[in-house]
Structure 1
Amino acid sequence: MLLKRIGYCLIFFASLIFSGDLTAQSSDSRKIIVSEAMYSQSSNSTNDEFIELYNPSETESVDFTGWRLAGTQSSPLALADTGNGLCVLAPKSYAVVLPANYFSEPHFRLYESLIPAGATVLKAEKSLSLDNSGDRIIFLNAAGDSVLDITYFPDAEKGYSLEKIDLTAGDDRGNFVQSWKLNGSPGAKNSVPSKAFDLSVSAPSTRAVPPDEQAAISCTVTNAGAKPFGAESVVRLFLDKNQNGEAEANEQISEKPLFFNLEPEAFWETVFFHTPSSATERLIFAVANAEDENSANDSAKTALSVGTARNAVIINEILYAPVQNSTDFIQDQPDFVELYNRSSAAVDLRGWSLSDAADEHGEFDTYFFAEDDAQNTILSPGQYAVVSPDKAENLDSSRLALFFPFVKSLSQAKIFYVTNRATFSYNNDGDEVRLKDELGFTIDSLRYDESWHHPFFNSTAGKSLERLNPDMPSTAKSNWSTCTDRLYGATPGKANSIFTAGATSQKESGLAISPNPFSPNADGHDDFTVIGYTLPSAVNRIRVKIFDVRGRLINTLENSLPVASKGEIIWDGSDKNGKRARMGIYIVLLEALSATNAAVKSYKATVVLAMPLN
């Protein structure tokens, strides 16, 4: 009999347990949490206190009918709807409990603009009476069971609520912090992050960097958590060699430590230096800290776009003063800029541009070319490109082809049109010509003026400025002169009429001069001579003078010019007054001061200035 009674008792208690009637923490306790509490408003009015509840369930709603608030009062406060009959909290939603006087007139409803439309709002029958020094919050369900019991602490300043950091974690003091927003976030997602300790790293998704140079590449580490954090973290930079988007140990190229904590929302920007080795590279930044609670934001990726090498493509010829007359029934001469690929690699000119000098307002004209998607914009090594303003639909009808008919048979030349312009705006008395690649990096530039033309020409209208040697500086006046083509006045798309090959010394140090003899009579043949030098020091300053056989100074070509160990200087056969020197033998004297040991070296060579017999 005793065993039978024991059996009945076990069955009875088991039925209570599985029906949920026995437990003081009913199933409601798993459906509701306190996510925020405003216990000390700036107004010092208890009418503006509130408690926010959150339903974390994915599928189940919570019905607050018959619920009461205890712990803050000697007797529990009944909760009711605000007159709309809504006491049910949907899954993944917030409810706000406000005191009765909050809704009374003429009290200003402080949170009316903050509580989202559709949020559940409950009214307590009296003041919530939340203690500013900390208090206990208890919620009782309709059956009188305690379904929620927490204690809060005075960790928020006046006007700021106490918000829960991780809604899925416990109710200990460390999981609540002061809200980041004045008046809190009633009925909405908390203003504080959902993690206490969380560092994030960010970087631009793309970055244009100059070629063959050490580029400064930055990333930003931000404290995305709710508490000060960051000390003893490490930021690492990886080169994603296998392009799999993962930061792998064998791909790390640098790292930097973070020695201090960042306040919430504070950030730290750090810079890495990296020299790209290919046209496109992918970098990965990663921040690591053993206490970081969120790995989803610990890395950022940057794709590097590397610009074209400086002077890979050069400005080779400029016709800025074309002969144009609308009344003479003669085909107008078009203006143009010729480019030349002096590098050993093909270069895509798509998206490139030319520009002129800025005006007094800092504004300048930009001429984009190579924009036709159907056109092959690849410029091969040793190939020319001609850029001309023209609205013609094809080459045969363009002003360039009508005036320079030979361009139609230049299979190795690229022709590009600036279709929104009838003419360039390069000034006849001098201007700047700047060539930029698609990333905006300057590839070549120069500033010309009228004095760059050969002094033997009475008029240079309709004659282009040509470059003597593509391997010599664009900015050197001595590397430019007037085109000697007598028929067209320019040579777009082919070798310049005054092209002069460089001269290189075969000795360890010394001078080499070519052509020698030369004849500066502006006939386009051997009009200039190139003085090549080789010096023993890597960095020097040189002075180059021309003397006649009697030792008289004829001209000073360079004076204290900083140079490397090898280079070239051009002499156009003129004296110090700009007049052509007489026929004869001349002595070239180059003096070099080494920047390494201050030693002075002198080199001499002879050059013959001749004139052809008529």
Structure 2
Amino acid sequence: MKQTLLAIFLLLPLLTQAQLNESFSDGNFTQSPSWVGNTDGFIVNQQNQLQSNGPAVTGTILQLATPCQAVAGTTWEFWANLKLATSARNYVDVFLVSDAEDLHNTNTSGYFVRIGGTADEVSLFRKDAGKTAVNIINGEDQTTGSSNNGVRVRVTRSEDYVWELATDMTGTGDSFVNQGATTDATYKRSGYFGLLLHYSSANNQHFYFDDFTITDTEPPVPEEPQTVSQQELTLRFHGPLQEETAQQETNYTLNGGAKPVIAELLEPETVRLVFSQNFNTGNNRLTIASLSDIYGNALPFPVEVAFTFSPPAVLPGYNELLVTEIMAREAPAVGLPPQEYIELYNPTNKVLTLQGIHYSDATATTTLPNVQLQPGEYAVVVPNSQVADFSQFGRVIGISNFPSLNNSRELLQLRQPNGSLIYAVSYSDTWYKNNSKSNGGWSLEMIDVSNPCAGVENWAASVDPRGGTPAQANSVATSNPDNTAPVLLSTVAIAPDRLLLHFNEPLDSVQAANVTHYKIDPAVSIINVEVQAPLFTEITLQLSEQLQERRQYTLVATGLTDCTGNLSGALEATFALPSAPEPGDVVINEVLFNPRPNGADFVELVNRSDKYIDMKNWQLANISNDSIADMRSVATANYVLEPGQYVLLTSSPENVKMNYPAARKEVFLSMSSLPSYPDAAGAVVVLQPDGLAADRFSYDEDMHFELIDDVNGVSLERIRPEGATTASNFHSAASTVGYATPGYRNSQSQENIQAQQKFQVAPKVFSPDADGYEDFTTINYSSSQAGLVANITIFDTQGREVRKLARNELLASDGFFQWDGLRQDGTKAAIGYYLLYIELFDLNGQMSVYKEKVVVGGRL
């Protein structure tokens, strides 16, 4: 191409004088201009005409050609005389436009005027490489049928590629007759003008030509630019350009201001322009000024050409295609069609293709169709059968096998055809932040689409009156940037040599996989780090050695960044290797089975062992027909209880916190639902992963302190953590704490008292007023003798029986009885002294009697 351009540019001095003006007055055709081809087959005769003089052989073909680039906005004119009877073997093709010097080559393309032929006419043809020529303007037949066919021919081609053919059969140029017109823009470049003669032996000297003129007085006309990339285009003109003006960057202006950094003449009529800024997606304009063609025709004023740019569609990368709205619970419908849907959004400046992208939930996967999303465009995805119902809202994408969305919790993923992750979101019904809207008809909407890594903080229930905004900007849209560093939520030893770290937001997965970011004390080496896809909120650390049980370790993670780029400082967490549980390690510490109206039940557990115990795969149950029933999973993920730690199980943490503001929500463990615990009586059963019952508590509403007027919302609390899970070891929570202590030390909790003798009363003075301070007294006992049976009767100072506290109770080796200050009839005992009369029987029937004093106190 460079050699071709060089040859053309060497001809510019000649071409700029005149496109072509050849009258053969100089007596030759080898100079000014130079003709090439069968030069020995032509002469310039005494009349200064070009005359054929080839061999007298039938079937001879002669050709002459001269360089010429005129192609549009051009007039071709010449005189010819075929002093012969034209026929299928005797005619001439005058090539106006040719891409090759060899006009006879079957692969040559261009346009020519044929004089003669079977129809004895003057017509315009188009020649396509390797094909038979096509007549595009059919001249009048039998106009060249005599033996002296002098004719002057004029052909014009406008800048819009409209051809016109005219002939003057007088040859004077004064009587042109129009032969027709047509539009043909097949070929927009030319290299040569020339003659191609066909004759029989008797006609070798009977072709005469003169007055060849080719004129182009039109300034260069640009076509619509063709974009090559986001910053490069090619600009083609209807004729060859002057190199100097074509390559002047200041002659071009993009969209009113930008100049190209490169202006390069690729071909005589084609300019390459490269800009430092991207084209606008959609409409653009290019202003062109001061250009000239090689014939000296200059643009008289700036010309503006418009073009559109659509970036090539590409597959989205990570977070380049987002799920920005989720209708998981479509009924009862508010204003939208009752159909589950997701909304997709293109946050990039690219055109995205969705072809082959896999959309999946936990159980099903479907493939998106071959559609494109423009930059900033939303689209709603629904089953094919629902496309018509959603078309009123905007762009709709219908798919088959639409994965059904869970109402409460679901992981959604978008992946490239090769499996690479594009986007993932794990939503839950807590993301609505509105209990009524979570019941159906309202969508979840992303708040800030420029913050796709955020979870619950960047989602909320739609506030649009229709219940959602499918295929439209979200109703909750506002700026909600992530300016905070990631937080380490938990560190759990999931195996003796593996740790699982859980963070509050997605991490930069490449950076987080570097082992140098983590240290353990006491020192344990980390040999591998794996960031868990698709959410990148969990990290697994592989250790070089096994951890020891009942030993606390400290992990420090430093220099981690979230996917937004926020850098963390030192993140510290303690952990230990969980031990296998045994029944009685984790026990029931508090139960609310009769909540306030519209309240929620809860069960609180406490780890009273010295072990670290993982609650994963534990279950909560009840008793039905004397069998364990209605089992519900406590936790499907790791949740480690430290020694002495509480955990509160409920299906509605927000409700519990609302009713008991002092509750420690950080120890709440939310369950989808609790087993049924009736208000009157029932049983709470806690099951270990091995199926054994860790603890069991049979409750009854009569266990509540009888002086409490309304027991709704009053929990039963364990008195002594080390004591047995029996009615005597539970008491109503105190009024001073709001009648429950979810997540923290029980209001009625007592330290275990070891009786120094057979029986010991503590406290000696108590006030049964439900204020949480010494609301009852305990009769503690201890004995190494087995099989002892006790009776306990309470008398006032007058010797009158007040209450039978225990009758024929078989004693353990140690334990206690509690007296809540109530008489046998349920009324409160008067303030004053009381006598505890204790009868103890052994296996032989021998009786021992013990007497202890206690004082019932209170306000006077």
For the superposition of Structure 1 and Structure 2, which TM-score range results when normalised by the shorter chain? 0.3 to 0.5
Tell me the TM-score normalized by structure 1: 0.43
Higher Cα Rg: structure 1 or 2?
Answer: 2
The two structures have a TM-score, normalised by structure 2, of 0.31
Q: Which has the higher contact order (CA 8 A, sep 6+)?
A: 1
